[in-house]
Chains A and B, each alone.
Chain A
Amino acid sequence: MAYSDKVLDHYENPRNVGSFAKSEAGVGTGMVGAPACGDVMKLQIKVGPDGVIEDAKFKTYGCGSAIASSSLATEWVKGMTLDQDMAIKNTQIVEELNLPPVKIHCSVLAEDAIKSAIADYKAKRQKGA
């Protein structure tokens, strides 16, 4: 399979790899996918008091496109508000990374991971409030 240069770049030099402590204030964690399907993405956001995402981290078990999709997602969400973040669509990821049709599910998973991280952040805040 031929990968685009952008996928290769993210794969070789993934951005924002790592983890925040799940209990840390302002952290939302999204974990999507399943090992049996060959992809699991964990995407975490750290939201500041102003509601802007200060930082993001990811870990991904999956193919090169899955790693690139989640790496790109962490780059994009930083500096966004939650609403802007919610508006990220998988098709934007497909376009940016030039993903072939068989790899579109990787971008869908990255979008799900973002949404899931936001949902987790919101749920935690509600519980805390």
Chain B
Amino acid sequence: MRLPIYLDYSATTPVDPRVAQKMIPYLTEHFGNPASRSHAFGWETEAAVEEARREVAALVHCDPKEIVWTSGATEAINLALKGAAHFYREKGKHLVTVKTEHKATLDTMRELEREGFAVTYLDVAPDGLLDLARLEAALRPDTTVVSVMYVNNEIGVIQDVAAIGDMCRTRGIVFHVDSAQATGKIDVDLSKLKVDLMSFSAHKTYGPKGIGALFVRRKPRVRLEAQMHGGGHERGMRSGTLATHQIAGMGEAFRLARLEMDADNARIRKLRDRLWEGLSSIEEVYLNGDIERRVPHNLNVSFNFVEGESLIMAIKDIAVSSGSACTSASLEPSYVLRALGRSDELAHSSIRFTVGRFTTEEEIDYTVALVQRKIAKLRELSPLWEMHQEGIDVNSIEWAAH
């Protein structure tokens, strides 16, 4: 077993070796510009791009013509939100999203606010899920776009995209879904979901970084204003020479996800549950987000009475993400966990473990033993733990904020 152990698959995944093999010939041998119509160099790379497009479409059950290549999910989200908001601005200037969205959505919404749009940011329930009645109440006659992520990146909860889609479609509102964390984890079925726009990323699903896609529904047709202008690639929605090797990689990654998802997820879920079994034996440990409506590889846990950054330091043999941003200058706990109503302390002491295709049982067992040992050590150091042991309610004390 090699250290450090990688348990941060929601941050990014390694490129599957089969995907890398698929990509390499498009760097050296088949280097043509897919837009070159006049010779075989262009024809063969165009064929590779279209094959990849079919694979991406096959995973999410849509028409390949509805897939637009982008540089990643962030660009896809920008194109979806700005593109739709701009195109339908005569119809209305009200947009709706959720407080626990990824920054790619929240920051794009902020930019649209600066342009004069009004944005409603919805709260979630303590389990991380969006209350549909609350969404319905927020919709107005001038609402043009609703954006909700399928799977939350921090806590892994799955929103009820089907129900939200129904709500939006009957009102003629464009519905965008950020699926960066969903592909290969849950069955995404665009033939059933009433979703108009959906953003994808390759590198969360064992593909390369720097490539993503936006699904743009044709029936009923959704219109976008392009954000990137140039040669009119991707039917004018996203200009720029196509990165054949990246695209081929994303296609292969999504093909493998389609074929292996069920077996992969069954194995990963077992490992995740084994991890939770081990960690939940520790006192004062809290799971963040609903356990049932959750992707199989995510575990987000708060360790009470232990500070997040010191915990990350203690378990430096495991690569994980912290819900606490105090490694930056901001000292801000995770806004997602705060939106769930978690106290600052619990938000600060949260760790996101995300298991993946290459995680082993041995790595999980090592992680459990290490975390158990380090939590005990840090609690031995913690005045808050001491107070808790003495039966003092830490929340009853009036602390001087500093």
Q: Which A residues are within 8 Å of any B CB, using their own CB?
A: 1, 3, 11, 14, 17, 19, 31-42, 59-64, 66-67, 101-102, 105, 108-109
Contact = CB atoms under 8 A, between A and B. Distances in A.
Interface in B271-327: 305-310, 313, 324, 326-327
Interface stretch (B96-104, B222-230, B381-389): B381-389
B390 to A, nearest CB: 10
A38 B326 contact: yes
Contacts of A33: 399-400, 402
Contact of A42 (B307, B344, B383): B383
30 contacts: A11-B313, A17-B381, A32-B400, A32-B402, A33-B399, A33-B400, A33-B402, A34-B401, A35-B384, A35-B399, A36-B399, A36-B401, A38-B331, A38-B344, A38-B348, A39-B307, A39-B402, A40-B384, A41-B383, A59-B381, A59-B386, A60-B381, A60-B383, A61-B305, A61-B306, A63-B326, A101-B329, A105-B402, A108-B402, A109-B402
B306, B310, B331 interface centre (most CB from chain A within 10 Å): B310
Nearest to B385: A61
B351 to A, nearest CB: 14
The 9 closest A-B pairs by CB, nearest first: A34-B399, A42-B383, A63-B309, A36-B344, A59-B383, A35-B345, A61-B382, A102-B329, A61-B384
A34 B382 CA distance: 13
Interface in B359-390: 380-386
Contacts of A102: 328-329
Contacts of A11: 310, 313
A30 to B, nearest CB: 11
B402 A34 contact: yes
Contacts of A34: 399-402
Contacts, number: 88
Majority DSSP secondary structure for residues of A touching B: mixed
Contacts of B344: 35-38
Interface residues of B, number: 30
B343 interface: yes
Contacts of B402: 32-34, 37, 39, 105, 108-109
Contacts of A60: 381-383
B11 interface: no
Given A11-B313, A35-B384, A38-B331, 16 more contacts: A3-B313, A33-B400, A34-B400, A36-B399, A37-B401, A37-B402, A38-B344, A38-B345, A38-B348, A40-B384, A61-B382, A62-B309, A63-B307, A63-B309, A66-B310, A67-B310
Contact of B308 (A38, A41, A59): A38
B47 interface: no
A35 B348 CA distance: 9
B267 to A, nearest CB: 34
A125 B308 CA distance: 38
B40 interface: no
A72 B64 CA distance: 63
A35 B394 contact: yes
A42 B307 CA distance: 15
B309 A64 contact: yes
Contacts of A109: 402
Contacts of B309: 1, 38, 62-64
A14 B383 CA distance: 14
A17 B400 CA distance: 23
Given A38-B331, A40-B384, A64 B400 contact: no
A129 to B, nearest CB: 28
Nearest to B306: A61
Contacts of B307: 38-39, 61-63, 66
B251 to A, nearest CB: 38
